[in-house]
Amino acid sequence: MSELTLLATRHSDRKRDALASLFRVSPNGFIPWLLPLSLLVLWQAAASYGALPPSILPAPFNVAKAAWRLLLSGELLTNAAISFKRAFSGLIVGGSLAFLLGLSNGLSRISERSTDTTIQMVRNIPNLALIPLVILWFGIGEEAKLFLVSFGVFFPIYINTFHGIRTVDPQLVEMARSYGFKGFELFRRVILPGALPSILVGLRYALGIMWLTLIVAETIAAQSGLGYMAMSAREFMQTDIVVLAILIYALLGKAADGSVRIIERLSLAWHPAYRKGVRS
């Protein structure tokens, strides 16, 4: 019996190892940061020697000062929090609708036949093209942003969930059926894990679209948030704040991507491509 427990622990150890390897700094861990850091140094040098006028591009040091100023006044965090809340409400609303519809269309032909064509048609509308209409509908309230973000994240998640379910190995499904698996058990043990890699690819695309949509929506139709902050700074020629906002977008994008990577490493530990050592 103790051996059995051992087997089980060995298995959960693996998940922990996968988690640990994410945070371990390897000896070569600084290499990816070499390029951005040297660009930063170059940029600062160019600005200090007057090659870059501050009205075009402020020195990194001034951007840092702006960041500090806004941090102290609380403006930065408030706006970031508002943007974050908008982004994730949109992701949750649009993402869960897309996931459920992807599941239902992937599992049932009737459901697919009644909705898929419509979805494919609507999919070809760029979501930002809806901004004028959305402003007419909702003004510049929260609903406008929620709608645009939900609309944007819907398609990548829907398509990849649907595709993931349809491409689950039919031989595995037949095998599972022959062992008496059906209904929810078949779904939980075979279909969902088989579709998961594709679903996570969808999530990753969705996160990119989520930020893009939100920032554009906030610059056009908002009175708070990071996009608004950048837009109003432009009116007062505060290039340092504009640049700061752009840098924050880059960081947010990276953070979103990183969190999906963590989810992938944890839930796809079985997948050779996500195993420790292969992708470090």
Partner 1 sequence: MSAFALKQSETIRGASVALRHVTRSFGTKPVLEGIELDVKPGEFIAIVGQSGSGKSTLLRIIAGLDNGFQGSLSIDSAKGQKTAARIMYQEPRLLPWASVIENVAFGLGPQSTRHQAFAQARAALDAVGLGDRGGEWPDVLSGGQKQRVALARALVSKPDLLVLDEPLGALDALTRIGMQSLLERVWLEQGFTAILVTHDVTEALTLADRVVLIENGRIALDLAIPFDRPRRRGAVQFGELEEHLLTALLKSKSKTEEYVI
- Measured from the CB atom, the residue of 200 and 209 that comes closer to partner 1 is 200
Residues found in the chain: 280
Q: Are 192 and 209 in contact (CB under 8 A)?
A: no
- DSSP reduced 3-state for 176: helix
Looking at 113, 254, 271, 279, which residue binds partner 1 (CB under 8 A)? Answer: 271
Q: Is 247 in the site for partner 1 (CB under 8 A)?
A: no
**Least separation in angstroms between CB 23 and partner 1:** 23
Q: Could you count the other beta carbons within 10 Å of the beta carbon of residue 146? A: 20
The owner of tokens 């032909």 is 109
Contact partners, residue 186, CB within 8 Å, separation at least 6: 173, 176, 177
Size of the site for partner 1 (CB under 8 A): 27
H or E segment to which residue 22 belongs:
helix 2-23
Site for partner 1 in 182-201 (CB under 8 A): 185, 189-190, 193-194, 196
Looking at 7, 34, 121, 129, which residue binds partner 1 (CB under 8 A)? Answer: 7
Going by the DSSP 8-state scheme, the letter that residue 190 receives in this structure is I
Q: Is 32 in the site for partner 1 (CB under 8 A)?
A: no
Q: Is 25 in the site for partner 1 (CB under 8 A)?
A: no
Stretch that binds partner 1, among 6-14, 57-65, 83-91, 127-135 (CB under 8 A): 6-14
**CA separation for the pair 238, 58 (Å, rounded):** 9
Looking at 178, 235, 236, 251, which residue binds partner 1 (CB under 8 A)? Answer: 178
Residues that bind partner 1 (CB under 8 A): 1, 3-4, 7-8, 10-11, 171-172, 174-181, 185, 189-190, 193-194, 196, 268, 270-272
